[in-house]
Every structure is written in structure tokens, then in C-alpha cells.
Amino acid sequence: MTSINLHDQAALTATLAGLPPLSVAALTIGVYNLLQDGADLPQPCYIAVSQTSQRIDLQFPGKQPGRRAIAQWAHRFGSTVTTDPHRDERGQFTRVAATFGYYGLTVTAYAYIPAAPASL
């Protein structure tokens, strides 16, 4: 018989709400654990950790494989993928992102995919 423990993020977030913020060292251990839990998924090219907002950002390459990678992370950690248009001095992009909870932390996996050139 196989048993599966489902992660109840709402209950965990409520429990952790009264605790003091984690240190950068503890957040870094959280990054290590997150990457271990996603070891069979495509790995990010850049990771940012914020003690102030208690969050981890995972940036993926700005190519179509990055879009698939974010979908895989979203599926693994019970999130949905969002897409939003983005424009800066480099041109037009689609921001593909998935935000999910991981043991009380907010994790956002994202990539900026260049917009396809217009065809006639």
C-alpha cells in the first residue's frame, strides 16, 4: 500500500505566521531543500533570496524551454502558470511565472520569453 502525504500550505502558513522571519542562512537552506525536492526538474539559471519578504525567486532562461520548466515546477508544487506582456528597453517579452508556497516561503519561478517576431 502506498501513502501520499499532501502538503497543506494554508495550515502551514497560518502556523508559521506568528514566528519571526528566517535568517538569510535559513532561507539558503530552504533553497537547498527546494532544489533537492525539484532535483529531477529543469534547474534555474539564477536564484534570489530575500530575507525582507521571506521569498525565493527562481529565474529560468528566456527561451521556450524556460516556459516548459516553469510549467513543470508549477505542476510539482501545485501552482498555475501565468503569462503577462512585458516591455523594456530591450523589446517585448512575455513574463511566464508560477508562484507557490514552500514551507511558509513564497517562491516565484519566472522567465522572460522574447516575443515572436511579427509575420506577414
What whole-number distance in Å separates Cα of residue 7 and Cα of residue 76? 11
- The residue ranges of every structural domain in the chain are 9-114
Radius of gyration of the chain (CA): 16
pLDDT for the residue numbered 109: 97
CA angle 35, 37, 38 (to 5 degrees): 60
The list of the chain residues with pLDDT below 70 reads 1-18, 117-120
pLDDT for the residue numbered 16: 59
What whole-number distance in Å separates Cα of residue 38 and Cα of residue 35? 5
pLDDT for the residue numbered 6: 54
Burial (Cβ within 10 Å: 0-12, 13-18, ≥19) of residue 110: buried
